[in-house]
Amino acid sequence: MLIDSYAKINLSLRVLSKRPDGYHEIETLFSTIDLHDSLKFALTKKPAVKILSNIAELCSENNLAYLISQRIRADFGIKAGLEIHIEKRIPVAAGLGGGSSNAAVTFLALRKLFQIEMDEEYMQSVAAEYGSDINFFFIGGLAKGSSRGEIITPLPDLDEQELLLVNPGITISSSEAYQLADKEIIECPSSGLWFNDLEAGIRKKYHVVDNILLDLKLNGANEFMMSGSGPTCIGRFQDKLKQRSVLKYFRSKNMWCRIVRTLTRRQYQNVLKA
């Protein structure tokens, strides 16, 4: 079985408070975009799970797709083995939800491959144990994430957006991003779209992210922000010729950059059903 695994961006992210369990209470707006990995699932006679990938560091027992596969096999008493090949295109630890998306499609693929009765309540409950945004990838489109981000409320889709993504090639863990946010005093909570309460701490420590956002501003982006826990930055341009010029500019600096489009819920669901 071959299935595409799509990325997300955060169009807003507000940090409300730190919770007793060490996580943070947040409100965020997720949107799926047309950047994707491809995952190939194959049953094997050997009773084990094996991860293969074009990115060596993903071939690990810490990979979310591996952990979810093992959990499902244990919960449903499945003896058959599984091989998962991940063709990675979404940057790793980049604020684009690549690992969480891979985990979500693993639920869907294994439900079909193993022909098991796996209801939505089980999927959402288990997914929340392994990541705060996995649940979003069961529905896609535009949605609000609350609590740790795992409580998902579908929202009407926005008009399609064409956006420029720029990633400097560094990795930032979610835990570090929130630790840095704890050091920032957010006196005036933002509202609407195009803000990220994690951004200030990241910009202060990682000057390369600050420079990307300044470059987006100086080069005519109408809106610009960091996605999720970073370091990927988003720029929205009304002038599409300018957008392509800025794409070339960042490519000349040897940075990963792509022009992407947002996906509606219907578009996303049609892909998952294909």
Please provide the DSSP assignment of 51-120 as one string.
Answer: EEESSGGGSSTTSHHHHHHHHHHHHTT---EEEEEEE--SPTTSSS-HHHHHHHHHHHHHHHHTT----H
Domains 2-154 and 162-261 alike in fold: no
Superfamily of domain 162-261: GHMP kinase, C-terminal domain (3.30.70.890)
pLDDT bin (cut points 50, 70, 90) of residue 187 is low
- The torsion angles phi and psi of 88, rounded to 5 degrees, stand at -90, 125
Among residues 133, 157, 197, 215, the one annotated as catalytic is: 133
Q: What is the pLDDT of residues 50-98, one digit of tens each?
A: 999 999 999 999 999 999 999 999 999 999 999 999 999 999 999 999 9
Which residues, in sequence order, are bridge partners of residue 6? 36
> Could you tell me the residue ranges of all domains in the chain?
2-154, 162-261
Summarize pLDDT for 115-165 with one digit per residue, the tens.
999 999 999 999 999 999 999 999 999 999 999 999 999 999 989 999 999
DSSP state of 135: G
Active site residue 8: yes
- Catalytic member of 8, 37, 157, 197: 8
Site of tokens 């079909």: 112
What's the fold here for domain 2-154?
Ribosomal Protein S5; domain 2 (3.30.230)
Segment 212-223 shows an average pLDDT of 97
User: Higher pLDDT residue, 186 or 202?
Assistant: 202
**Mean pLDDT, the chain, integer:** 94
Nearest in space to 227 (alpha carbons), one of 199, 186, 265: 199
Instruction: Based on the residue annotation, tell me whether 133 is a catalytic residue of this protein.
Output: yes
Strands 195-196 and 256-261: unpaired
